Amino acid sequence: MAARVLLRAAAGLLGQRRRLLVLPLGAPGPGVRRGLAGAAWAGVQQLPAPARRRRPPWVRGYSDAPTLTLKSIHDQVLYVLKLYDKIDPEKLTVEAHFMKDLGLDSLDQVEIIMAMEDEFGFEIPDAAAEKLMSPQDIMDYIADVQDVYE
């Protein structure tokens, strides 16, 4: 991998356009090197780059997650909490306090916050996580951080 990066950087500095053709290991072909780094170079062959379509440098590929709404946040938070094995789904309500109503301890609350971080894809700071004691608190925090208002 490092050899390819160096080769591309050197070719770019020299103004030469080259393309790497990667063959299966052990395949015969010109440019096969043996020695200390033989495994890294085995099957790598340099050929002139054919005329190919390249994206202009200002064109980038973007992807985006579906737009969050208050309803989708509500559904996702309750879904994650219902899947948590220490929470009885019948006792779970939006206003239920994790420790008083659901009987969870502080370690369970940390695990819930970590599950929410995984579900929504961002980190919740410890100072904010300590204040999230009910599903409604989590929903309000996520809506505030993600700028979701309806």
Residues marked as catalytic: 105
Coil/strand/helix, residue 131: coil
Q: With contact defined as beta carbons under 8 Å apart, do 81 and 112 qualify?
A: yes
CA distance 123 to 70: 19
Nearest Cα to 29, choosing from 39, 44, 41, 40?
A: 44
Taking phi over 0 as left and psi of -120 to 50 as alpha, with beta for the rest, 114 belongs to alpha
Contacts of 94 (CB under 8 A, 6+ apart): 74, 78, 134, 135, 136, 139
